[in-house]
Amino acid sequence: MSSDEQPRQAIETVFRMESPRVIAGVARIVRDVGIAEELAQDALVAALEQWPEQGVPDNPGAWLMTAAKHRAIDLVRRRERYARKLAEVGRDLESAPPHTDEPADPDDIDDDLLRLVFTACHPVLSAEARVALTLRLLGGLTTAEIARAMLAPEPTVAQRIVRAKRTLATKGVAFEVPYGPDREDRLGSVLEVIYLIFNEGYAATAGDDWLRPALCEDALRLARVLAGLMPKESEVHGLAALLELQASRSAARTGPAGEPVLLADQSRGRWNRMLIRRGYAALAQAQAAAAGAGALGPYALQAAIAACHAHAHTYEETDWQQIAALYGLLAARTPSPVVELNRAVAVSRAEGPEAGLALVDALGAEPALEGYHLLPSVRGDLLARLGRSAEARAEFERAASLARNAREREMLLARAADC
């Protein structure tokens, strides 16, 4: 790395860490996340010009925030269509304390971040647009990085982000945290986006790599930030707990060549104990927050299932009865064919492969699972355990033909060959 590249990379790293807060703070002024992002980028350019000569300020986040807010105020003043906002900002400026390198009230910053999360994940946007915009605004990823993460062409992702910001503006989506009846629905959308990002990193739907650790890290960071912002929401802690516990297994989920390693074959010595402890703590917070509501939500229930796996020292010691019972609660709370398929796996371990196979066969005509490679994969596993090798081989081959991820396809073909 050249001497010129080192400060540039350092500045970009700082910007990636601080940009969500800067965008959120500026968005509160201009009420437009697209413009806020542009102003934050302008502040980055200023940092690239000034910091190499003047040195990195003691509080680079406050420096970027101040630079971006000054640009926001200049923009508001220049544009006639922001005339009304000019008056508001002008009044704010007159009453604002003199500039200091100390950040603004942390509570204000947290409120701004929370508004940005809910705005980027607004239900008026498609799931793909919400994911792309969240990764851009809150993850600090470039368009090229998001394109690689989503396995989509860069121009497609760029257009997706542009349209998302335009939709938020034309729909008049308020830069605010909803309250009352709207809050649960909007919070559900926020959690879903973070979960989608994590799942794509944890088991990629397509491509040559089964894991994308950077996506998992981004989702985990977002979940932690959200848990800090909303300490009384059980499902927020439930999601954080689920991601901590699942992420703890990441290092053991692939072999030396990047091939998938199934749960039963994983070396539990490679599970990250620090993440497991964090997961336990977050789950306890979810349970405490849910105490008044009387029942755990779907993310907290999934976290409880993940905790059962974490407690077991070996695969054979796993409390499958407890896991099957938790899947039963989850199926009652949020019925879905995928949950039912997972419950079938747990039941097969608790009661035997015949019991699991009966549940899987009942899902055979489920339209939502048509083309879902894990249905024949699970069925193949159960048939293999029953000694029905020819049928198991056919199911593994069918699963491989449906899998879009190259690593997973290779594993399924290998399992077919072993039958």
Task: Kindly report, residue by residue over 166-225, the tens digit of the pLDDT.
Answer: 999 899 888 888 877 777 778 888 898 888 888 888 887 777 777 888 888 888 988 998
Give the burial class of 41: count Cβ atoms within 10 A of its Cβ; 0-12 exposed, 13-18 middle, 19 or more buried: middle
Which fold would CATH assign to domain 1-88? Answer: Rna Polymerase Sigma Factor; Chain: A (1.10.1740)
Q: Per-residue pLDDT for 402 more than 50?
A: yes
Question: By percentage, how much of the chain surpasses pLDDT 90?
Answer: 46
pLDDT score at 107: 47
Run of H or E including 267: none
Q: How crowded is residue 291: how many other Cβ atoms within 10 Å of its Cβ?
A: 11
pLDDT score at 182: 78
Q: Tokens standing for 228?
A: 């800090």
Yes or no: say if 167 and 125 are a contact pair by the CB < 8 Å rule. Answer: yes
Q: Which residues make Cβ contacts (< 8 Å) with residue 410, sequence separation at least 6?
A: 259
Predicted confidence band of residue 89 (pLDDT cuts 50, 70, 90): low
Residue ranges of domains in the chain: 1-88, 199-297
pLDDT score at 7: 67
DSSP per residue, 206-218: SBS-S--HHHHHH
User: Cα(first)–Cα(last) distance of the chain, in Å?
Assistant: 51
Q: No. of H helices and E strands in the chain?
A: 19, 0
Q: Per-residue pLDDT for 93 more than 60?
A: no
pLDDT in tens, 155-182: 999 999 999 999 998 998 888 888 777 7
Residue 17's nearest CA partner among 103, 133, 141, 111 is 141
pLDDT score at 237: 97
Over residues 42-57, the mean pLDDT reads 87
pLDDT in tens, 266-324: 999 999 999 999 999 999 999 999 987 678 999 999 999 999 999 999 999 999 999 99
pLDDT score at 108: 53
The mean of the pLDDT values for the chain is: 86
pLDDT in tens, 60-84: 888 999 999 999 888 877 765 555 5
d(CA 412, CA 398): 9
pLDDT in tens, 103-132: 445 445 567 888 888 899 898 999 889 989
Question: By percentage, how much of the chain surpasses pLDDT 70?
Answer: 89
pLDDT score at 353: 97
Q: Per-residue pLDDT for 363 more than 90?
A: yes
pLDDT score at 28: 85
Predicted confidence band of residue 94 (pLDDT cuts 50, 70, 90): low
pLDDT score at 273: 96
pLDDT in tens, 16-35: 788 888 998 898 888 888 88
pLDDT score at 212: 81
Predicted confidence band of residue 99 (pLDDT cuts 50, 70, 90): very low
